[in-house]
Amino acid sequence: MARVMQASRPASEVEAPVIEGLLALLVLLLVASPLLARALSATAAPVPELRLEIDRGGDYALDGRPLGHAALTAALRQAEARSPGLRLRIAAADDSDPRALAGALAMAEQAGVRNIGSELR
């Protein structure tokens, strides 16, 4: 008794529709993701931002207003209460005292500010 071998389809014929479907989904994702990101960013409310400058002497200025330690902590606490989640950007001079930056971070933490960025100038 001879067995009759049935010719089956090659694997490449079976996989081709699957690969084509995945490529189509990839193209849709690549086209839709920038549109979705743009739509989401347009609906998001802008986050208020404060700029804290630290000069070479370790003195602080919040949005251009010179402030001492106690006044800075109070101003940050008040700003955070008005706009929860506000962004604090700390700009320190290249040659400023690192302890002044550490102090600014401690005051921001004490005031409840959590969204903090930094830059060197």
CATH number at residue 60: 3.30.420.270
- 10 Å Cβ neighbour count for 100? 19
pLDDT at residue number 9: 62
Q: What is the pLDDT of residues 32-61, one digit of tens each?
A: 888 888 777 666 677 789 999 999 888 999
Residue type, 38: R
Residues 55 and 114 in one domain: yes
User: What is the SS3 string spanning the chain?
Assistant: CCCCCCCCCCHHHHHHHHHHHHHHHHHHHHHHHHHHHHHHHHHCCCCCEEEEEECCCCCEEECCEEECHHHHHHHHHHHHHHCCCCEEEEEECCCCCHHHHHHHHHHHHHHCCCEEEEEEC
Mean pLDDT throughout 6-27? 74
| Domain, as residue range, for 35 | 11-44
- pLDDT, averaged across the chain: 84
Q: Residue 107: which pLDDT band, with cuts at 50, 70 and 90?
A: very high
